[in-house]
Amino acid sequence: MDKRILIPTDFSQNALNATRYALDLYAKLNCEFYFLHVFRMESYTTSNLMMPEPGSAEYEAAKGASEERFAKLLNMLELHRDNPKHSYHTISTFNFLSVAMKEAIDSKGIDLVVMGTQGATGAKGIIFGSNTVNAMEKIRGCPVMAIPEDMTFSVPKEIVFPTNYKSTFKRKELNYLLEIAKMHQTAIRVLHFTKETSLDEDQEAHKQLLDDILESVEHSFHTLTDKDIAGGITTFVESRKSDMIAFINKKHFLFNSIFSRPLIKEIGYDAKVPILALNES
């Protein structure tokens, strides 16, 4: 079965960069790529109760402009990145981005969302734009991968997987992580943050289960006592020249403490490697 990947785009360089990364990362697999563009109309604002209707001149003009830009994008991809394993589809819609993404995920059976960390209007210093953060927080139907600006693809040799071992692991939560690791012979480095000198009985059991789940790929376990979790991850990744960070998107622990917008802005996280948000099942 083909893998179905959704790539939201505003036709910015950042979005194009995310597209290129996704095409290279999944070059070996049969994939259907769905490009999503949410177009806008100048006459419509959130305070304007009159929704533009399909068929109206302004609506059709905005949709037509979106489709023209898609035609240029597809021509470029086919000229420079012709891969018989890949096929492309486009979706032009007038909607809120989060709603449009969820609708596409449901209607197209999307397996993974890949998006840039910021678009054409991204403010300098805010590494993860609001659209990316919202997607990583709210989309539960499939994993979300965020690709940093100016990221050039290289075969990932090492993925860092932070955890506290406080809840159990399920194989299906880690399917995409394992898939990437097997595709590229990538090692997984499990990174544990703790203030304690040892794991309790439940944590030991969860660690053993994770060890069993990862048995088919190269992996190792590491521990840091750094109080600053986000800073510790950044230092660990930079010191080892790791290629990706993956985590399970749990509502109450790791995600909110590491990837919230204020913290990213505060530590100046450069987002030099892709981030893969897996969903708790």
Cα–Cα distance measured from residue 224 to residue 272, given in angstroms and rounded to the nearest whole number = 21
CA distances 70 to 4, 16, 74, 77, 138, Å, are 18, 12, 6, 10, 27
pLDDT the model gives residue 182? 96
- Look at residue 208 in the predicted model and tell me its pLDDT: 97
Nearest to 276 by CA among 175, 194, 207: 175
- pLDDT above 80 (res 114): yes
What type of residue sits at position 122?
A: G
pLDDT of 168 > 50? The answer is: yes
Q: What confidence category does residue 40 fall into, taking pLDDT thresholds of 50, 70 and 90? A: confident
pLDDT in tens, 151-164: 889 999 999 998 88
Contact residues for 116 (Cβ-Cβ < 8 A; gap 6+) = 12, 14, 15, 17, 18, 132, 146, 147, 149
Contact at 8 Å (CB) between 114 and 145?
Answer: yes
Q: What residues does each domain of the chain span? A: 3-147, 158-279
Indicate if the pLDDT at residue 264 is higher than 50: no
* 158-279 shares the fold of 3-147: yes
- Does the structure show a pLDDT above 60 at 270? no
158-279 CATH: 3.40.50.620
Q: Which of 114-123, 133-142, 203-212, 245-254 has the lowest mean pLDDT?
A: 114-123
Residue 128 pLDDT exceeds 60: no
Residue 48: is its pLDDT beyond 60?
A: no
228: confidence class by pLDDT, cuts 50, 70, 90: confident
Give 254's pLDDT tier (boundaries 50, 70, 90): very low
Q: What fold does the segment set 3-147 form as a domain?
A: Rossmann fold (3.40.50)
Summarised one tens digit per residue, pLDDT across range 58-103 is 788 888 888 999 999 999 888 777 789 999 999 999 888 889 999 9
pTM (global) more than 0.75: yes
pLDDT at 253 (0 to 100)? 46
What's the whole-number mean pLDDT along residues 34-40? 90
Q: What is the average pLDDT across 11-33?
A: 93
> φ, ψ for residue 91 (rounded to 5)?
-130, 115
What is residue 167's predicted lDDT score, i.e. its pLDDT?
Answer: 87
3-class DSSP assignment, residue 224: strand
pLDDT of residue 265: 38
Both tokens assigned to 269: 């996280």
Return mean pLDDT, the chain: 83
Compute the average pLDDT of residues 173-178: 94
